[in-house]
Amino acid sequence: MRARGIKPGFFVNADLVQLPPLVRLLFVGLWCMADRAGRLKDSPMTIKLTVLPGDDCDVDQMLDALAAHDFIVRYQVGDDCYIQVQNFTKHQSPHIKERESTIPAPDSHRTSTVQQPCSHPLTPDSGLLTTDSIENLLSGEMPDLPAENGSRPSKTALVRARFDHWRATFPEETQRLSLTKDRSRAISARLAEGIAPRTIDEAVTNARGDPWWNGARDGEWKADIKTICGKGSTVENLAARSRQARTGLERLRAEYGGDA
């Protein structure tokens, strides 16, 4: 661990304040673990034991949340996984005697474990994606889906429908939230992987009843659509809960007969 500096702007960063306090604390801890170039090994277990040893949390999922907001880049070189803290050299002044980084930079390797940060046209002064820019973001990334009612839904409509379902599921928590580029990117990335729209909706619905996601366990609401869709395995695991529940009900009916 190394001594690093923190600036007052950290506490009012518009993107950072959307994340739970523990994720923000983890981000600061990454600075202390990173070398002078802002790089470190991507080992969630090691990071947890070093930064958050006394907290009950999923560091891998928290790192995904930071990556979804472009605060870090998670990437792979050969069999080794690394993290690059974005804009590290801009905000930190490592000691002159600190050794040079021996970790390869992510720019020279394209086998990233998450989507690389990218630029998209924004609505002026808002930070929100326009309809045209969402189309550009999704073009060429998503497989064609079966037509419904004789017409094939547009890619923009698919993303918007997932976002609208999420807002309807969490009306109180999302009333001030909009379809920003990171939320669109997370949803479109999962659709591009072949995850069905209905599966994403099931994951959102099941997150509503989960005490970790809805904040009932620790008072911290974590069910932002960009976090739910931050990783394909997260979507699949959440969605599978409703299927498991149906399977259990069917098993009871088969065993005892009639309505369970």
Nearest to 163 by CA among 139, 180, 179, 186: 179
**What pLDDT band is residue 40 in, cutting at 50, 70 and 90?**
very high
Query: Is the same domain home to 54 and 96?
Result: yes
- Once rounded to an integer, what is the mean pLDDT over residues 111-123? 37
**What pLDDT band is residue 23 in, cutting at 50, 70 and 90?**
very high
How are beta strands 39-41 and 80-85 bridged, if at all? antiparallel
Query: Is the same domain home to 104 and 135?
Result: no
pLDDT over 50 at 260, yes or no: no
> Looking at residue 182, what is its pLDDT?
87
Among 33-37, 172-176, 248-252, the minimum mean pLDDT is found in: 248-252
Note whether residue 2 is domain-resident: no
pLDDT in tens, 193-249: 888 899 999 999 999 999 999 999 889 999 999 999 998 889 988 988 876 544 444
CA 85 – CA 184 distance, rounded (Å): 22
∠ CA 209-17-127, nearest 5°, is 100
Query: Is the same domain home to 156 and 238?
Result: yes
- Once rounded to an integer, what is the mean pLDDT over residues 139-154? 51
Note whether residue 258 is domain-resident: no
- Once rounded to an integer, what is the mean pLDDT over residues 40-65? 91
Query: Is the same domain home to 68 and 173?
Result: no
- What burial class does residue 247 get, using C-beta atoms within 10 Å of its C-beta: 0-12 exposed, 13-18 middle, 19+ buried? exposed
If one compares 129 and 58, the residue with the highest pLDDT of the two is: 58
pTM above 0.85, yes or no: no
- Once rounded to an integer, what is the mean pLDDT over residues 87-97? 80
pLDDT in tens, 163-203: 999 999 999 999 888 999 889 999 998 988 888 899 999 99
Note whether residue 89 is domain-resident: yes
CA 180 – CA 162 distance, rounded (Å): 13
pLDDT over 70 at 90, yes or no: yes
φ/ψ region of 258 (left if φ > 0, alpha if ψ in -120 to 50, else beta) reads left
Note whether residue 114 is domain-resident: no
| Torsion angles phi and psi, residue 41, rounded to 5 | -70, 140
Note whether residue 123 is domain-resident: no
pLDDT over 60 at 109, yes or no: no
- Structural domain harbouring 82: 8-108
Query: Is the same domain home to 100 and 17?
Result: yes
Amino acid identity of residue 175, one-letter, is Q
Q: Report the domain count for the chain.
A: 2
Note whether residue 260 is domain-resident: no
> Looking at residue 233, what is its pLDDT?
87
> Looking at residue 244, what is its pLDDT?
56
CATH number for position 83? 1.10.10.10
**What pLDDT band is residue 89 in, cutting at 50, 70 and 90?**
confident
